[in-house]
Structure formats: structure tokens, C-alpha cells
Structure 1
Amino acid sequence: MDSGGRTETSDEALPRADGSGHHVPEGQAPEEYGDHRGHGDHDEHEHRSRWPLIAAAGAAGLYGGVAISILGNETGLLPPLAGIGLAVAGTIVLLAGIAGWVDQAFLSPARDTQGAFESRESYVSTTLLFLATDVSTFGALFVYYFFVRIGSWPPEELPPLLGSLIVINTTILIASSITFHYAHQALEDDNRRRFIGLLGATLGLGLVFLAGQVYEYYEFVAHEGFSLASGIFGSAFFGLTGLHGLHVTLGVGGIAVLCWRALRGHYGPERDTSVATVSLYWHFVDVVWLFLVVVLYVGASV
């Protein structure tokens, strides 16, 4: 208390305020609480990311080039080298799109100590658009598999596809989708410890799933003699499962970035844009896997 009878209060005992005068709890960065620095500033920061569209165009070029190459080798109607060139160009564009997307949606916000506003709706909408185009990529390979099934079946001796490994791997991937859902829910409830724990569990389950798929490939190639060169079914099987494995790998990378940022305290109930987008992607990958198991593993065994 000073000489005038007023009580002295330490600045550290008072809630800190961000740029707009909103109080922020001690020890927390303003960006963790949504960065509400005035609604009038939102328009100049909002944008729609073009990187998912670039990645989708690259994927279309990659798989279109592979299709042209295969068609050229089988029928001679198209030059296979043109397909290879298109596939290479598509791969470069795809990787550039993914790199730009990851930097814009995940790494750039981590570098921005001022917590620039992110338009959650725009990122979610472009992610949904990317996933819609990704459906066509998987759809093309499923059409190829269904074309295989129209002919004489089985086209060659098949390895034992259904076993304990596929059951365990499927259970692991489903469990990872569940842990991711509740991790996001914990973030919305502002339970940071539970959020980080469940997000880490999701990352671990994703890595275990990838290890299981690698082991499955090893068993097929080394012990069953079943590989990508094992006829048209082999190309369909490894094409579909390999494409899905690539998507899981990308998803695991995204979750790893989320874990790194979560440990640095970058997320909060109103700052979850990248968590929402990666969550959508991961749930999509899980749904595709279930469809793949029913059609490819179970369907090929009956």
C-alpha cells in the first residue's frame, strides 16, 4: 500500500492483455487463444490455400502418366515415354504442393510469434476439396481391380491375404482414428495434457500400422513370392495398398508436426485449424483402408 492508501499490485499478478486488450492467462501466448485482435482485421488475413489444388493436380499427373505408360506398353497406342515424363512432372508438382501446404498450414504459423489469424473455414474447405480429388485417384485403381475381377478369377494363385496381421493392422488404424477424435475433443475442452497424450498415441499407432504393412510386404515377397510383378492382381494389390501406405506416411508426418507444435503450446480451443485439417485427412485414410480391406482382402478371398 502506498502513502495514498492505494494497494500496490504487481504486474505479474494481473492477466496480460493481447493487442486488442483481451486478457490472456499468465504463461500462455496470445496465439493459443485464437488471436482475437479485432474482427476488422480478418479480411486482410483470410485467404484460400492453393497448395491442396496444386498437390491434387500433381497427383493427377503422376497417376495419369503411370496409366499412359502401362497402356502404351500393353497396346502400343501411346508412347510409354510420354507417360513416364508426365509421371515425373506430376511427382515434382505433387511434392511441391505438399511442401507448400505443410509450410503454409503448419510450419509458417509456428514461426509466426504474433499468431496471425488463420481462416479455419478456408483451410478445411480446401482440404475437403483435396480429399474429393483424392477419391478419384483411389477410384481409378479400384476400377482397374474391378476390371481384373470381370475376367477369369483368380487370375493366378493367390497368397493367403486374410490373416491375423491384417486384422491387427486394421484394428490399430481404427484405434488411431478414435484417439485422434478424442484428442481434438480434448483440445476443444482446453485439456492440454489429454490432447498431447492422445495425439502422441495417434502418432504411435500410425507408426505401428506402417511397420505392420512393411512386414506384410516382406512376408508376401520373401515367403510367398508375391510381388508387384505377380500378374495383374499383383499390380492391383500393391498399387492400392502402396498408394494407401503413401497416404498413411504423409498423415504420420502431419501428426508428427502437430505433436511438435502441441508441445510448444501452439494450440488452444479457438486455434485448431491444422489439427482439424489433419484430422479430416486421417479419418479419410482410415475409411479408405476399411473399403480396401473389404474389397481387396476379403473380396479376393471369396
Structure 2
Amino acid sequence: MSTDHGDEHEHHLPAVEDWPRGFGEASWWPFITALGAGGIYIAAALYIVAGGEESTINPLFAPLLGAASVGSFLFGLYGWLYHAFVVEFWSRGSNETSAKALRWGMISFLGSELATFGAVFAYYFFIRAGTWPPGELPHLLGSLVLINTALLVASSLTLHWAHVAIRNNDNRKFVIGLLATLLLGVVFIGGQIYEYYEFIVHSNFTFETGFFGSAFFGLTGLHGLHVSLGGALLAIVTVRALAGQYSADRHVSVSTVSMYWHFVDVVWIFLVVVLYAGAELGA
């Protein structure tokens, strides 16, 4: 980095550099995050391929690559968010143009997420066009999924309440709303893990149980990953809220995280209607 800036910008590797000059700061953190995310998909593909009878791929490659990819993804995400929001936070002014750019950036990201879920849903609709049901299905639409759905819908309401509170400069209600949202998200993930346990152990229903098994665990697992990521983002926002880094004029990251969380909520409702209710009622 050029020394013309003095000690104004000090960053740890991966380097954040003024490159090219005049176009702001470029960072390696998004690249590291993207590598980790891509590695997760490759690990999933290796797991499927290595399960074949004639496969020459070592079955240990998939879990090792998966663990390394998750680590890279979380490490890159931490560095990205830290440099974007935490470093020298109070030295930056409140810029409405930058805030709009970040919101539109989140909207663009959600567009790519919609395409990702759309691809997996397209696979499910494709298998639904064939003989149905494709074998014996477990009881899907039970009390657990209904409770989980209610918890996730409630978490969207508490997050909206928190967002309204910070717009009114009510930091106490804002923090309470964030903590409630985070708690509901954690309980939702716990409920999904328990549901997996019930299906796998007691119903012998797994990822390898035919086409529907792969579609079910692919969609619910992808959604669970997104809820977990949303929980991590909410935790960061909560820590910053406790540090007093938000006000009625400075809450752009609350807006973007709220958009993400509400998106995940809507996807879950659609998933329950199509995958859980649709599969069971159409059986």
C-alpha cells in the first residue's frame, strides 16, 4: 500500500489495499469467503460421487474438504464483516448514498440466493412430475415442523419490532428485540436438528433414501445453513448494539440483516407448504 496515506489505514493480512487508486479499498476477504462457499458445494458433490459402488474417490475427501471449506467461509466472513463494519466505525460519517448502495447490494445478493433455492426447488418439482409417492414417506407434517414454523415467523416479528425501536432511538427495546430474535433462531435450528434425528434414527429416512430424500435434506439443509448464517449476522449486530453503535441515523447493517432474515423466513414458509404439506397431502 502506498505510504502517501501515512498511518491512516492499517490493516492485517489478507491485505486491504487502495487498488486501483481512486476506486476505494479492495479486499481479499470476499474472495476467501467465496472460496469457502464454493468448497462446500464441491464437498457435497464429492460425498455423492464417492458413495457409488465403482467410485475411486477416497470417502474421506468429502468431510475433510467440507470442514476446511466451512472454516474458510467463516474465517473470510469474520474478516469481511470486521473490516467493513467494526474497524474505525465511529470515524466514518453517516452517508445515505453508501447506505442505499449496501441495501441494493443485499437485494442483489438475495436475488442470487433466490436462484440457488430455485434450482433445488426445480429438482423437486421435476421428481414430483414422475410416479408419486416415490416409495414410503415418513410422517412429515407433524407438530414439530408447525412449532418450528411458528418460532421462525415470531422471530421475524421480534426483529421488525427491534428495527422500529432503533429508528425511534429506543436502544433498550432494540437490544431486547435482537436477543429475542437470536434466541428464536437458535431454538429453530435445535428443532431442525432434532427433526433430522427423528427421521434418520427412528424412520430410517436419510439423504440417500431415494430422490425425495435427497430433495428433502437438500432443501431443508440449505435453508438451515442460511438460518445459521443469519444467526451469526444477528449475533454480530447484537454485539454492536450492546456497544452502542446504532442510532436512528446509523442502522444500515440492521436493515440489511433484517432483509436477509425476512427472506429466510419467507423461503421456509414456501418450503413447508410445498415440501412438507405438498408431499404428504399428495401421497
Among 242, 255, 262, which residue is 2:234 paired with?
Answer: 255
How far 1:162 sits from its partner (Å)? 0.3
1:169 aligned to 2:145?
no
Residue in 2 that maps onto 1:187? 166
Among 170, 180, 184, which residue is 1:205 paired with?
Answer: 184
Count of residue correspondences: 254
Among 62, 83, 90, which residue is 1:114 paired with?
Answer: 90
Residue in 2 that maps onto 1:156? 135
Residue in 1 that maps onto 2:205? 226
Tell which structure's C-alpha radius of gyration is larger: 1
How far 1:213 sits from its partner (Å)? 0.6
Find the aligned partners of 2:199 and 2:183 in 1 and give their Cα distance: 25
The equivalences for 1:262-273 within 5 A come to 262-273=241-252
Residue in 2 that maps onto 1:196? 175
CA RMSD of aligned residues (A): 3.2
Task: Tell me which amino acid in the other structure corresponds to 1:126.
Answer: G
SS at match of 1:232: helix
How far 1:184 sits from its partner (Å)? 0.5
The equivalences for 1:3-82 within 5 A come to 55=33, 59=37, 62-63=40-41, 66=44
Among 253, 260, 275, which residue is 1:274 paired with?
Answer: 253
For residues 98-138 of structure 1, the C-alpha deviation after alignment (integer angstroms, 9 at most, x for no partner) is 334322344x24xx263323621222121111111111111
SS at match of 2:90: coil
CA distance change for structure 1 residues 99 and 142 in 2, over 3 Å: closer, same or farther?
A: same
Q: Do the aligned partners of 1:58 and 1:90 also contact (CA within 8 Å) in 2? A: yes
Among 91, 96, 107, which residue is 1:128 paired with?
Answer: 107
For residues 121-171 of structure 1, the C-alpha deviation after alignment (integer angstroms, 9 at most, x for no partner) is 222121111111111111111111112112211112100000111111001
CA distance change for structure 1 residues 202 and 87 in 2, over 3 Å: closer, same or farther?
A: closer
Percent of pairs identical after alignment?
50
SS at match of 2:247: coil
Gaps of 5+ in 1: 1-43
Q: TM-score scaled by structure 2?
A: 0.76
Find the aligned partners of 2:248 and 2:92 in 1 and give their Cα distance: 16
Q: Which has the higher contact order (CA 8 A, sep 6+)?
A: 1
How far 1:46 sits from its partner (Å)? 7.8
